[in-house]
């Protein structure tokens, strides 16, 4: 590959802040809000013009992986965003009396919303607490949540490289329409999803890949007619469902789900494996191939599927659904066995359905001044695939933002934060960490 020499240049420092969060996805917005509410000056840098990342821009419109053994296992900001969207009439969740049940009446009410326990081995899968939301509702709710907390937002700023001095991350360079800019932070949080900051800083990493998706929505669907057809003629419905999935090339059990908007259905498909989410040529292929596939699907269902005769493609997600790229190789690497065996850690700071995330998995090796939160946290590719849902990652972001404030208060780098003090604050903020094991090192 040919290279081009770029001369040294001066880059203006446009902002200095206590906590610098890079990436405004679900984990990043949680980190920023948690740090700002604790009194820190916080700047959040985001490449798009909205918050939410794959939740809003990628249109991953169901929040799940929140329940374990009959209880809601997450808390804090992950539940607050649901409440805020409900106040905007942009979110639907089942009442608690319908959760953790599997009787036909309850399933008829909620299965088509995607409120089943996704990782359950029981068939049919039980209904659990989950939420379906509108992407614009997320953008509105998260924007106001961050601004109310006092976070300084810098949209349309694309991360370029980390500023590393004496083995610590001191800030980042971003590319903008106004040119290259530098933003400095006393503590930096990498919430880019792809691990862009720790990758640039030289922290150890592993690479993984998983299916990618161009999520889309269909409108003008007679959902009642479609559901009634499935009930009246399940064999014919299964046959048509199989044909749709063959056109898509990959899908979860339900290729369409209900949404809070009447007549609008969510299609978390097509799934396309075997591509690299860090390769722009591969990402371009997903955009093109994804549209080709769902254009074929809309033609098929209009012709054959009751309830879809007048359906049309409302929109496709502006962000490709990338599930796995860089993964931190941190102070602790979470394994598949950790997830499947529900291993508890003394330094747990986040929790999913029945698995636990240790604080050490947010810490890069050999680099100070940096915390990592979101789907690029320290885990094996196999473990990340089953522990990367949005609500637990929001709790992880809340933990990172809270830890950053403890760094500032005590004058220590992230790896020397006293975990019991961090856990105490998270529990006070409504985070559910389960039963804590004792930790040495103070309170």
Cα–Cα distance, 278 to 27 (Å, whole number): 20
Do the beta carbons of residue 199 and residue 326 sit within 8 Å? yes
pLDDT surpassing 60 at residue 437: no
Residue 178 has pLDDT above 60, yes or no: yes
How much is the pLDDT for 442? 40
Confidence at residue 69, expressed as pLDDT on a 0 to 100 scale:
86
d(CA 367, CA 202): 8
Predicted pLDDT at 123: 86
Distances (CA, A) of 316 to 50, 55, 211, 213, 321: 16, 13, 17, 10, 11
* pLDDT above 60 for 333: yes
Q: Whose structure tokens read 């984990």?
A: 27
Which residues, other chains included, contact 371 with Cβ-Cβ below 8 Å and sequence gap of 6+? 31, 187, 188, 189, 190, 362, 363, 400, 403, 404, 414
Q: What are the CA-CA distances from residue 155 to residues 24, 45, 243, 331, 408 (Å)?
A: 9, 6, 42, 31, 25
The mean per-residue pLDDT over the stretch 103-107 comes to 94
The reported pLDDT for the residue numbered 7 is 84
pLDDT tens digits, one per residue of 1-41: 899 998 888 999 999 999 999 999 999 999 999 999 999 99
What pLDDT is stored for residue 441 in this prediction? Answer: 42
* Residue 328: strand, helix, or coil: strand
Structure confidence by residue, pLDDT tens digits, 295-328: 999 999 999 999 999 999 999 999 999 999 999 9
CB 70 within 8 A of CB 98: no
Task: Kindly tell me if the per-residue pLDDT of 406 is higher than 90.
Answer: yes
Q: Is the pLDDT of residue 128 over 60?
A: yes
CA trace torsion 366, 372, 376, 381 (10° rounding): 50
- What's the confidence (pLDDT) of residue 438? 52
């Amino acid at each position: 590959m040919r290279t081009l020499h770029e001369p040294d240049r001066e880059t203006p420092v446009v902002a200095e802040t206590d906590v610098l969060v890079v990436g405004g996805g679900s984990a990043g917005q949680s980190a920023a809000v948690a740090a700002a509410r604790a009194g820190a000056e916080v700047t959040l840098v985001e490449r798009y013009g909205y918050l939410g990342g794959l939740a809003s821009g990628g249109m991953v419109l169901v929040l799940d992986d929140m329940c374990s053994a009959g209880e809601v296992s997450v808390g804090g900001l992950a539940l607050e965003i649901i409440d805020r969207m409900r106040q905007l009439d942009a979110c639907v969740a089942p009442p608690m009396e319908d959760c953790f049940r599997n009787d036909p009446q309850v399933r008829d009410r909620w299965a088509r919303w995607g409120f089943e326990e996704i990782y359950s081995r029981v068939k049919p899968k039980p209904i659990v607490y989950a939420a379906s939301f509108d992407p614009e509702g997320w953008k509105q709710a998260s924007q106001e949540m961050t601004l109310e907390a006092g976070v300084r937002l810098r949209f349309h700023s694309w991360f370029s490289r980390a500023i590393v001095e004496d083995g610590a991350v001191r800030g980042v360079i971003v590319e903008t329409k106004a040119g290259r800019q530098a933003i400095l932070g006393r503590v930096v949080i990498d919430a880019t999803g792809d691990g862009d900051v720790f990758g640039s800083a030289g922290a150890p990493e592993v690479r993984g890949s998983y299916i990618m998706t161009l999520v889309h929505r269909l409108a003008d669907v007679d959902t009642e007619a479609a559901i009634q057809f499935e009930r009246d003629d399940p064999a014919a419905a299964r046959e048509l469902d199989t044909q749709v999935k063959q056109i898509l090339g990959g899908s979860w059990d339900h290729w369409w789900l209900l949404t809070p908007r009447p007549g609008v259905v969510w299609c978390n498909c097509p799934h396309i494996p075997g591509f690299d989410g860090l390769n722009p040529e591969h990402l371009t292929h997903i955009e093109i191939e994804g549209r080709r596939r769902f254009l074929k699907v809309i033609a098929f269902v209009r012709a054959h599927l009751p309830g879809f005769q007048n359906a049309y493609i409302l929109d496709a997600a502006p962000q490709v659904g990338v599930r796995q790229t860089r993964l931190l190789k941190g102070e602790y690497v979470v394994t598949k066995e950790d997830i499947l065996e529900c291993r508890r850690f003394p330094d747990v700071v986040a929790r999913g359905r029945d698995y636990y995330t240790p604080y050490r998995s947010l810490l890069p090796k050999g680099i100070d001044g940096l915390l990592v939160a979101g789907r690029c946290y320290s885990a094996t590719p196999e473990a990340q695939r089953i522990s990367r849902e949005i609500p637990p990652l929001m709790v992880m972001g809340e933990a990172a933002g809270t830890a950053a404030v403890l760094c500032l208060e005590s004058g220590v780098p992230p790896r020397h934060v006293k975990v019991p003090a961090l856990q105490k604050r998270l529990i006070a903020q409504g985070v559910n960490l389960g039963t804590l094991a004792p930790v040495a090192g103070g309170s």
